[in-house]
Structure 1
Amino acid sequence: MRVFLSDQAIAQLVQEDVPFLDLTTYGLGIGQESGVIEFSTRHPMTVCATEEAKKVFEYCGAKVEYLVESGTHIPAQQLIFKATGLAEALHIGWRVGLNLMEYASGIASRTKALVDAAKTVNPQIAVVTTRKCFPGTRMISMKSILAGGASPHRLGLSETVLIFKQHLIFIDTIAGIIERINQLRQRFPEQKICIEVETVEDAWMVAQAGVDLIQFDKIPTSELTALVQQLKQQYPTLKLAAAGGINLENVKNYASTGVDILVTSCTYFGKPADIGAKMTRI
């Protein structure tokens, strides 16, 4: 799995950690010694960002001998990455590459756990993740959730038409939004029209207006199950999504409501994966 992380972005990651030189390696006079660095899993995980780590080490002047492809779920104590080169290159690439793999693999592993849990209840359900990742990390975050089996909810504001309650501040009511749906369809004939609602009443109102997708925000599962069943009976082509606080503890409950899509941000936040690094002189 590959995403486009430019050479400039790789250089910026390295230069952030090494603005001038590796002072310790230089001071010890070991920079021209040859070595090998190996990264291994310390617990079961879904591996991610090994391809970006490869670009980091190659930028530093090392040669990558082996890597496990992103999206691979493997047990503990397994080799996932190996590079050879001068000590100077290995020490510069070490932490940058490790950070990428640990943070991305943490997200990928949490995503896989969430997706697997949801699909035990509803094999057809889709899990999608929001834009609420840490600023500046969206590219790696998107790769990580893909590696874990989810999909992006929307990659940016330019991608989809999704109307939130914040839009209503400037249009007053749901009824006012409905009046503009035909205008939206004329302007963007290839785009689906999606609206987020917080009440059962608003859900019926926008369904009658002919939207393509309704996203329920923080509606309890006890209310959602009956509502989803009724809406699907009356509007069989309407897609339904649940959002708001969905996590590993409640994902099965939301998956059991019958919605088509689960929208979450929880996979971005948590501990990085624990990956061990071993360096050897050769």
Structure 2
Amino acid sequence: MPYLIDDTRFLDRTTHGLGIGAKRGRMHFRARGAMTLCGMAHVEAMLRASDVTYALYAHDGDTLAPDAPIALIEGSAQALHALWKSAQNMLEYQSGIATYTRAMVDTARAHTPHHCAIATTRKHYPAAKELMLEAVVCGGGLPHRLGLFDSVLVFEQHWAFLPTLEAQKEAFLRLKTTHLEHKIAIEAASYDEALRYAQWGADILQCEKSSPEMLRTCVALKAQFPHLLLSATGGVTLQNIATIAQTGVDFVVTSAPYHANPVDIAVTMEALGML
């Protein structure tokens, strides 16, 4: 179990030095505040790899009230201390992302008659993609792209190698015919670009850092191009999701959940069998 090995390595110096490693104890995990829980699958894997018994009172995706119990674990002090921080850190960081995502999802739903989905970018911390995307899904969001391999999205950085509109259109039409099984998304920085790409046959217009007025204007293109999907990206946060969702976009693409504060998980221990 890499998460445990990373923390314990060869020795828990404090528990060993105090001579308490073999003593039996109980450890409680509780939510200090309201949260959407995530990380329990990894915590349970840690528990199964450890010499402990346990009871789980909550699971990934659950909405918890303050002071809600999460887990009860019994074992030696050595085993409990080896688990403590790795399990707590996993829950706090993943639940922080899940809680922020859930708040964005709920806010978007509360302010729009249509469904405005919350999708997250691939701007996750290096080597943390799996954990961060798990947390997004626990919070009711979805990954926008897993990587370059699973979707087609044309950026202005691609156009840098195709300097004329004629060359861009030719390459775009070739892209549509060579990747028939994928929707073709393209970033638009203005209404003129949005209209042009819709006329070329784009399936999704990704409106980059656009004002609400600009988004409404682009959404109006759906009357002429019914197949078209509109997304808003760039600076989308919990603070402005309601305003953006109200423009009528089909989904937003955001990195904000990745920067959410960790939630607070309370951990307490008690000794067993001591007079």
- The answer to whether the superposition gives a TM-score over 0.5 is yes
Residue equivalent to 2:20: 30
Residue equivalent to 2:194: 203
Note the residue ranges of structure 2 that are not aligned, 5 or more in a row. Answer: none
- Residue 65 in structure 1 maps to residue 55 in structure 2: yes
1:142-181 alignment to 2 at 5 Å? 142-173=133-164, 175-181=166-172
SS in 2 for 1:80: strand
- Residue 43 in structure 1 maps to residue 29 in structure 2: no
**CA contact 1:58–1:64 (8 Å) conserved in 2:** no
AA at the equivalent of 1:190: E
AA at the equivalent of 2:160: I
1:82-121 alignment to 2 at 5 Å? 82-121=72-111
Deviation of 1:175 after TM superposition, in Å, equals: 4.5
> What is the rounded CA distance, in whole Å, between the counterparts of 2:59 and 2:166 in structure 1?
49
AA at the equivalent of 1:172: P
- Going from structure 1 to structure 2, the CA distance change for 1:174 and 1:247 (only over 3 Å counts) comes to farther
Within the candidate set 253, 259, 262, 1:269 is matched to 259
> What is the rounded CA distance, in whole Å, between the counterparts of 1:274 and 1:105 in structure 2?
9
> What is the rounded CA distance, in whole Å, between the counterparts of 1:239 and 1:178 in structure 2?
20
Residue equivalent to 1:8: none
SS in 2 for 1:97: helix
Give the number of equivalent residue pairs: 271
- Deviations 1:216-241 (Å, cap 9, x if unpaired)? 00111122212312x01100111111
- Deviations 1:230-258 (Å, cap 9, x if unpaired)? x0110011111110101111111110111
Q: What is the alpha-carbon root mean square deviation over aligned residues?
A: 1.3
**CA contact 1:164–1:196 (8 Å) conserved in 2:** yes
Deviation of 1:42 after TM superposition, in Å, equals: 0.6
**CA contact 1:57–1:89 (8 Å) conserved in 2:** no
> What is the rounded CA distance, in whole Å, between the counterparts of 1:45 and 1:219 in structure 2?
31
Residue equivalent to 2:204: 213
Deviation of 1:173 after TM superposition, in Å, equals: 4.4
**CA contact 2:206–2:231 (8 Å) conserved in 1:** yes
Note the residue ranges of structure 1 that are not aligned, 5 or more in a row. Answer: 1-10
- Deviations 1:169-200 (Å, cap 9, x if unpaired)? 11224543321233223322211111011111
- Going from structure 1 to structure 2, the CA distance change for 1:173 and 1:242 (only over 3 Å counts) comes to farther
AA at the equivalent of 1:77: D
TM-score, normalisation: structure 2:
0.94
Percent of pairs with identical residues: 36
SS in 2 for 1:214: strand
**CA contact 2:173–2:200 (8 Å) conserved in 1:** no
SS in 1 for 2:232: strand
> What is the rounded CA distance, in whole Å, between the counterparts of 1:98 and 1:120 in structure 2?
32
**CA contact 1:240–1:260 (8 Å) conserved in 2:** yes
**CA contact 2:38–2:95 (8 Å) conserved in 1:** yes
SS in 2 for 1:172: coil
Residue equivalent to 1:135: 126
SS in 1 for 2:125: coil
Deviation of 1:116 after TM superposition, in Å, equals: 0.7
TM-score, normalisation: structure 1:
0.92
